[in-house]
């Protein structure tokens, strides 16, 4: 039985649970719903004792932060999780009523300098692949750093970037476009 928590495992489990919540049309969960969803995750169920508590805590925190600060507004419809595009994979993909497409790249743990460099390269592959796969409808990728939400940014399809404006923090509006 696997006990150690690998950041990639936490990330994939978080993507899947966030996707499940969004598929149901929810943009938030109360604590009971959150803990029920987390408790059903194989990441949690496959661990025992303090390892299970650690998995539950990391997963619940990741999902709660995403849903509280980064859940797209109602104008965005969740379409898919872990989408393979040319040269990369997109964690979460959303479509707006006008056909525009945007993706979220979610990082649930703190990144080392090497991992930050790898994230930059990953985003370049995602932007290129998104433009190729979706064409001009592709707006870009939100790089969401759950461990440091205020450092998250939107990487636009044209290569420009801007910080995300966190919902409920600054002016109550939702995050960029």
Segment 138-160, tens digit of pLDDT: 999 999 999 899 999 999 999 99
pLDDT for position 48: 63
The domain spans of the chain are 7-70, 76-163
pLDDT surpasses 60 at 2: no
- Give the burial class of 169: count Cβ atoms within 10 A of its Cβ; 0-12 exposed, 13-18 middle, 19 or more buried: middle
pLDDT for position 36: 76
pLDDT surpasses 90 at 3: no
pLDDT category at 127 given cuts 50, 70, 90 is: very high
pLDDT for position 129: 98
pLDDT surpasses 50 at 170: no
Q: How far is CA 36 from CA 21, 32, 39, 59, 159, in A?
A: 12, 6, 5, 12, 39
Segment 53-92, tens digit of pLDDT: 677 777 888 888 898 899 888 899 999 999 999 999 999 9
pLDDT surpasses 60 at 39: yes
Please write down the HEC assignment for all residues of 138-163. EEEEEEEECCCHHHCEEEECCCCEEE
User: What's the rounded mean pLDDT across residues 10-23?
Assistant: 82
pLDDT for position 144: 95
- Give the burial class of 78: count Cβ atoms within 10 A of its Cβ; 0-12 exposed, 13-18 middle, 19 or more buried: buried
Mean pLDDT of the chain: 84
Percent of the chain with pLDDT over 70: 83
User: What's the rounded mean pLDDT across residues 83-112?
Assistant: 94
The arrangement of secondary structure in 76-163, i.e. its CATH architecture, is 3-Layer(aba) Sandwich (3.40)
The pTM assigned to this predicted structure is: 0.84
pLDDT category at 21 given cuts 50, 70, 90 is: confident
pLDDT for position 44: 61
């Amino acid at each position: 039985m696997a006990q150690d928590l690998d950041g990639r495992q936490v990330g994939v489990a978080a993507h899947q649970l966030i996707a499940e919540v969004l598929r149901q049309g929810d943009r938030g969960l109360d604590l009971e719903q959150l803990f029920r969803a987390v408790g059903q995750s194989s990441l949690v169920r496959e661990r025992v004792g303090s390892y299970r508590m650690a998995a539950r805590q990391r997963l619940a925190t990741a999902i709660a932060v995403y849903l509280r600060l980064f859940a797209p507004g109602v104008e965005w419809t969740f379409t898919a999780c872990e989408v393979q595009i040319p040269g990369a994979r997109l964690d979460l993909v959303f479509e707006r009523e006008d056909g525009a497409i945007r993706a979220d790249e979610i990082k649930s743990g703190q990144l080392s300098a090497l991992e930050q460099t790898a994230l930059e390269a990953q985003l370049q592959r995602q932007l290129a692949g998104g433009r190729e796969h979706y064409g001009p409808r592709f707006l870009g990728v939100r790089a969401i750093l759950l461990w440091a939400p205020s450092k998250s940014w939107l990487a636009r399809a044209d290569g420009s970037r801007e910080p995300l404006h966190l919902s409920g923090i600054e002016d109550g509006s939702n995050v960029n476009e």
